[in-house]
């Protein structure tokens, strides 16, 4: 029984750690790397659509390798753009949350 559990959890855990490290390297955030790595882990543990988990892991490693080969100025520009995108998405979410509390304008 223990051997079966180890066999079932072995590949998903390895995929989780690889995807986590690649995601953390690219985004610079532990939370983003963790969220990205949950997809291969969840699909592997359930045993459904494991190939998608393999694709996510392989794609994240390829992106991390490509990101590592970038020159430093380009890398800093990409990180700045990613941070700006995150803040604009967060601001958009805040705006839509406040949209329900806004007072209606005059009727035309």
Supply the pLDDT for residue 99. 54
Query: Full-prediction pTM beyond 0.85?
Result: no
Residues of the chain with pLDDT under 50: none
Q: φ, ψ for residue 69 (rounded to 5)?
A: -85, -10
Supply the pLDDT for residue 62. 96
Distance CA 11, CA 16 (A): 8
Supply the pLDDT for residue 100. 55
Supply the pLDDT for residue 22. 94
Supply the pLDDT for residue 60. 94
Supply the pLDDT for residue 103. 55
Closest CA to 12 of 54, 58, 61: 54
Supply the pLDDT for residue 38. 94
Supply the pLDDT for residue 94. 64
């Amino acid at each position: 029984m223990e051997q079966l559990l180890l066999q079932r959890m072995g590949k998903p855990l390895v995929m989780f750690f690889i995807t986590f490290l690649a995601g953390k390297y690219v985004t610079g955030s532990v939370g983003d790397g963790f969220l990205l790595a949950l997809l291969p882990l969840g699909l592997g543990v359930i045993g459904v659509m494991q190939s998608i988990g393999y694709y996510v892991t392989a794609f994240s490693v390829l992106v991390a390798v490509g990101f590592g080969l970038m020159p430093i100025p380009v890398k800093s520009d990409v990180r700045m753009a990613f941070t700006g995108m995150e803040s604009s998405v967060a601001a958009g979410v805040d705006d839509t949350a406040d949209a329900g509390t806004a007072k209606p304008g005059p009727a035309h």
